[in-house]
């Protein structure tokens, strides 16, 4: 493994900034690492090194005088394959778009490139980002670097696996029902599901608070560094923040011990939680308490979150996928067809009732965080599973409803509209990663980065990546 690959993104950007290393050297190191590791994990599915080198050369000619503190100075990144990069193939993991070349870059890619990131390729995902296991008929399955027999989860599984194997230093993700959080957990990296609107998006349904764009990296400070480049106002997203934002990398550089932490292994809604997942949450609680933090078992009432999340998700699928049914039904995986048809079967009164329930959950969460700094719970109710399973149908003899059922711990949290840091939380006896959701106060990203950085130091797990796939 090349020395450059072992650097964190924060270290790499500092060395780029002072001229110790060039963007072209990091691109070459990433290219070699991808060639070495991608045959085992299939994380990167489309590469664009010529485009990256041309971008890097342009950056190297520009003046350094007017670069913002959030500038990335030519750091190579990867972009999830449902996010357009101009001139690069973008399939969304579907045969419908198998040969599609993006005519223009997505808003988040434009922001990242304007802040000095260099895109070197696209990462794998399930078809139309539907599901918690990354496989599709275009590129096949992505495998977990910690054990290539296991799933990297989804839908940002390619991004998380690429990070864990050291193919890139940062990668984009998007999160609806857990698509940043469960891959980060399964691959022992970190990722942020931000508050809705913090990373501006141009969406068909502009007031959709469920689907967000967010950063993935190997450490909390690296996630903050990427978030600084992504977050901010855009007039095309009515949820985006107009007020100036703090530098989140500075927040992450100042770890802050939370005073009062709530923990829950099941949020009162998971029908089963693996015993090793429960043990990891118990261990985190004990370590916090031993360090002087007040820790209590508590969570807001999320009883109605699951059913109503699925209703709201169905309404979004009407806009996203239903228009494809008439022409492409036979090319879509059954779960995508099922999602779209479920959405079309909904009554307007169903959707309105679900929106009202989400409003109640958001208000409950706000009241809950008047008493607690953060809420910590698992990012998945089970460890990484066999990559050949389409999804987790049951665990410890308990069956789940539908292909999303096993993801209840993440999609219920989505309904709270709070920022969530996914980060390493321990390992099973067999060495498979277990991850945490660290849920912060509404629009509380700044404090969350400081508190997550403290927790990362306390648990001392982040520096175990990158790894060689095994």
Active site residues: 80, 155, 179
User: With contact defined as beta carbons under 8 Å apart, do 134 and 155 qualify?
Assistant: yes
Pick from 270, 272, 350, 349: which is nearest to 310 by CA? 350
Is 111:147 a contact under the CB 8 Å cutoff?
A: no
Instruction: Specify the pairing of strand 374-378 against strand 260-263.
Output: parallel
CB neighbours of 370 closer than 8 A, spacing ≥ 6? none
Structure-token pair, residue 423: 């980060």
Q: Is the peptide bond before 466 cis (omega within 30 degrees of 0)?
A: yes
Q: Whole-angstrom Cα distance, residue 447 to residue 148?
A: 36
* DSSP states of 402-449: TTTGGGHHHHHHHTTT--EEEEEEEE-TTS-EEEEEEE-STT-HHHHH
Q: 142, 101, 98, 93: which is closest to 336 by C-alpha?
A: 93
Total count of residues recorded for the chain:
470
- List, in sequence order, every residue forming a beta bridge with 214; answer none if it has no partner: 173
Strands 420-427 and 433-439, sheet pairing: antiparallel
How far is C-alpha 258 from the geometric centre of its chain's CA atoms? 23
Least Cα distance to 257 among 463, 447, 461, 462 occurs for: 447
Sign for the pseudo-dihedral over CA of 388, 392, 397, 401: negative
- What is the token pair recorded at 378? 């698992």
Our CA angle for 111, 117, 119, nearest 5°, is 100
Both tokens of 306, joined, read 């699951």
Q: Tokens in use for 158?
A: 């390619």
Strands 294-297 and 260-263: parallel
**Contact yes or no for 222/9 (Cβ under 8 A):** yes
């Amino acid at each position: 493994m090349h020395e450059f690959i072992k650097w964190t993104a924060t270290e790499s950007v500092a060395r780029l900034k002072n001229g110790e290393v060039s963007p072209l050297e990091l691109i070459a190191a990433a290219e070699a690492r991808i060639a070495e590791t991608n045959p085992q994990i299939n994380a990167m599915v489309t590469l664009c090194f010529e485009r990256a080198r041309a971008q890097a050369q342009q950056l190297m000619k520009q003046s350094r005088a007017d670069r913002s503190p959030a500038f990335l100075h030519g750091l190579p990144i990867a972009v999830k394959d449902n996010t357009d990069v101009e001139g690069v193939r973008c399939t969304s993991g579907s045969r419908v778009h198998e040969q599609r070349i993006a005519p223009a870059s997505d808003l988040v890619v434009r922001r990242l490139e304007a802040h000095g990131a260099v895109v070197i390729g696209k990462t794998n995902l399930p078809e139309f980002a539907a599901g918690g296991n990354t496989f599709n008929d275009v590129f096949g399955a992505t495998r977990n670097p910690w054990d290539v027999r296991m799933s990297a989860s989804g839908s940002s599984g390619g991004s998380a696996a690429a990070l864990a194997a050291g193919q890139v230093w940062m990668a984009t993700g998007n999160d609806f029902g857990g698509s940043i959080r469960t891959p980060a957990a399964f691959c022992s990296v970190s990722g942020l599901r931000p508050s809705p609107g913090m990373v501006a998006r141009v969406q068909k349904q502009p007031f959709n608070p469920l689907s967000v764009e967010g950063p993935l990296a190997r450490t909390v400070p690296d996630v903050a560094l990427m978030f600084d480049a992504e977050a901010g106002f855009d007039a095309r997203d009515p949820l985006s923040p107009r007020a100036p934002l703090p530098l989140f990398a500075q927040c992450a550089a100042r770890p802050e011990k939370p005073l009062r932490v709530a923990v829950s292994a099941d949020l009162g809604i998971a029908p089963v939680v693996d015993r090793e997942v429960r043990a990891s949450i118990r261990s985190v609680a004990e370590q916090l308490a031993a360090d002087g933090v007040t820790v209590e078992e508590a969570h807001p009432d999320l009883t109605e979150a699951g059913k109503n999340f699925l209703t709201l998700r169905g309404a979004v699928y009407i806009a996203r996928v239903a228009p494809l049914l008439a022409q492409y039904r036979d090319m879509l995986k059954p779960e995508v067809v099922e999602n779209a048809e479920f959405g079309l079967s909904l009554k307007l009164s169903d959707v309105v009732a679900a929106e009202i329930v989400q409003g109640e959950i958001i208000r409950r969460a706000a009241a809950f965080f008047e008493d607690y700094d953060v809420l910590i719970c698992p990012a998945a109710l089970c460890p990484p599973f066999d990559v050949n399973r389409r999804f987790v149908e049951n665990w410890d003899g308990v069956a789940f409803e539908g292909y999303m059922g096993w993801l209840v711990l993440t999609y219920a949290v989505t309904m709270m509209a709070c920022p969530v840091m996914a980060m390493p939380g321990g390992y099973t006896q067999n060495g498979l990663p277990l991850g945490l959701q660290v849920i912060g106060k509404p629009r509380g990203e700044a404090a969350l980065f400081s508190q997550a950085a403290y927790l990362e130091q306390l648990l001392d797990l982040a520096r175990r990546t990158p790894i060689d796939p095994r």
